[in-house]
Amino acid sequence: MRIALSAAAVAALLVTLPPARANLITNGSFEVASADSSLPTGNGAGRWQYRHSRMDGHRQQYPDLAAQFQRL
């Protein structure tokens, strides 16, 4: 009886534990796989958008991103 209750208690506590941490941001490290990757344009959820057209700089650091900025 006690073993059954203990197992039930542990199982119930495990079920109520908070979920594992998971980053909800897409590409938070700004890594670019290719020029047509999901970054950075678009209005849908899970994509970065740029607030100002002046984000067109620093091409050496973020070449694919810069190429897309220039179209804004």
Partner 1 sequence: MSTPYGSYFLDLTGASDRTPFAGVEQTITTTPGATYALSFALGVNQSVSYEAGPVTVSASASASASASAGLTSGLFTVNPAGSGNIWTMETQDFTAAEDTTLISIVGSVGADYIGLDDVSVDLIQAVPEPTALALFAAALASLCYIRRSHAL
d(CA 58, CA 50): 14
Say if residues 56 and 70 touch (Cβ distance below 8 Å).
yes
Whose CA is closest to 57, among 68, 49, 48?
68
Binding characters for partner 1, 37-66, by CB under 8 A (x = yes): ---x---xxxxxxxxx-xxxxx--xx--x-
Told to check if 29 binds partner 1 by CB under 8 A, we report yes
Interface with partner 1 (CB under 8 A): 2, 5-6, 8-10, 12-13, 15-16, 18-19, 21-26, 28-32, 40, 44-52, 54-58, 61-62, 65
